[in-house]
Structure 1
């Protein structure tokens, strides 16, 4: 018998109970990414896609372009420390798919210089948690609040390892935000196959020895012996696998905002 929460093409009633979430995941777990996305378009209200334009996110963008003429808007968190190739890819995606890209930057900052005047240079070295909050968590929460976002499509996959190994198709974070992981079960081989088969645009750095691309200061080229799809991100840091956006940062820091340094070198 189909659970009531899945019985009609109508928006979900939020917040979801644990029982309804379990029923949804039991339904979604056997579906293809396209079927998960189609279900989401029909059922999830105020749906957006957050993306740093990694390969999995790009696959989702391409799939959505084939499923609907009005795909969910994209939210891009500009940390101000992305590679030039990443910014170039953003423009390529906007042209190719015609999907709105909503850009959010650290609060009160438009340029790297403004950010460093506010927080000092190399904040990621002095207070990594504060950096993650300033460039990812706070801008994301601000974006969700200002646009009434109830759910986001992510590019996370279990095969990426780390904290992602136990991913489910649909999750609810500590703020009540729904996180849809349509490609949660895909391996890198499937992603790579889809990218090539559909000629999906991607970051040029991936052809230059990078496996995963984030901020320039936390991303390095990967050696042939490096294990893991996200090798080169926070290299040498077994304790660091996420940027803060997908962690219980609010609980850990009690929503503490990073403080500007008293003196700037």
Structure 2
């Protein structure tokens, strides 16, 4: 599943995705820059359920990713109630960083009870089952000593592993423009640099619309919402917000940071790892070449 840009432009967009400018080129689906723009213009006129219906007819290997925030919960409920000729057999990926609030983990169990047909695939930091495992491997408070490394090993790498192991080509996310930060210019459909298609069905909705849907449909929610939280992530980087603040103002409060790395371009740490792997591969290639020369 990929996007091929035939325009020759490499312009980036503020959201961190080249929606119409990626150089990724895989073999399943191609969007020209003009076509992707047209799709977004059309989907922006539809209700979220209609966007999901479009996904079911257009995108193979479609999954949902969610940290069980309000928008993700609304999408889960919409999928479960979707009246459509094509059965929406969409499974969910949950990244357990091992630092979620207890209330979030309790919510996961309540979701399983209310939506018994929903398959949830949980991915944790590689080689870690518990917080103690993580701290033995990476040290305590890694989010303070090396934040980029923390984002990578706790979130980015597990997400990449999930996409690889599950052969994910497209994902539904709970991101919305009114959440603020780099999400302010969010498109309905985006293409990452490595060709993953991300669809944001509720991109046009505001917090009040999501709240109304949740209430009307009796969707289970995080108990922390009653304590002033709107966007809930790891306990060490999440605080309550006031009514005048953006939803995600409580994430990394008082700092310029608004994303954990999953929805950004590669972090410096990820690029460092890639450079190390490239170097290793080059050294291996050189060794093989030199060995062949010696034998000759």
Instruction: Indicate the residue corresponding to 1:5 in structure 2.
Output: none
Q: Which residue pairs with 1:228 in the alignment?
A: 246
Q: Does 1:61 align with 2:76?
A: yes
Aligned counterpart in structure 1 of residue 102 of structure 2, from 58, 67, 84? 84
Deviation at residue 16 of structure 1 after TM alignment = 2.8
Distance 2:244 2:150 in 1: 26
Contact 1:65 1:71 in 2 (8 A): no
State how far apart, in whole Å, the 2-side matches of 1:165 and 1:89 are: 28
1:242 aligns with 2:247: no
Tell me the residue number matched to 1:261.
Answer: none
What is the 5 A alignment of 1:149-188? 149-188=168-207
Equivalent runs, 1:1-265 vs 2, <5 Å: 13-67=28-82, 69-98=87-116, 99-222=118-241, 224=242, 227-237=245-255, 239-249=256-266, 253-254=270-271, 256=273
* Residues 75-97 of structure 1 deviation map (CA, whole Å, 9 limit, x = unaligned): 00000000111111111111111
* Cα offset, 1:254, TM superposition: 1.4
Q: Which range moves more in the overlay, 36-45 or 60-69?
A: 60-69
Structure 1 position 13, deviation (Å): 4.3
Aligned-partner Cα distance in 2 for 1:227–1:218: 16
Mapped to 2, the partners of 1:28 and 1:252 lie a distance apart of: 35
The gaps in structure 1 that reach 5 residues or longer are: 1-11, 258-265
Contact 2:148 2:268 in 1 (8 A): no
TM-score normalized with structure 2 length: 0.79
- Deviating beyond 4 angstroms after TM superposition, the runs of 4 or more aligned structure 1 residues are none
Q: Is the 8 A contact 1:169 1:182 kept in 2?
A: yes
Distance 2:252 2:244 in 1: 13
The alignment's C-alpha RMSD in Å is 1.9
Q: Is the 8 A contact 2:64 2:92 kept in 1?
A: yes
Gaps spanning 5+ residues in structure 2: where?
1-26, 275-296
Q: Secondary structure at the match of 1:75?
A: strand
Q: In structure 2, how many angstroms separate the alpha carbons of the residues matched to 1:172 and 1:255?
A: 23
Paired position in structure 2 for 1:3: none
Partners of 2:164 and 2:212 in 1: how far apart?
36
Compute the TM-score of the two structures, normalised by the length of structure 1: 0.88
Q: Structure 1 residues 252 and 30, CA, compared in 2 at 3 Å: closer, same or farther?
A: farther
Alpha-carbon distance between aligned partners in 2 of 1:254 and 1:149, rounded to the nearest angstrom? 22
The 3 A distance-change label for structure 1 pair 142 and 15 is farther
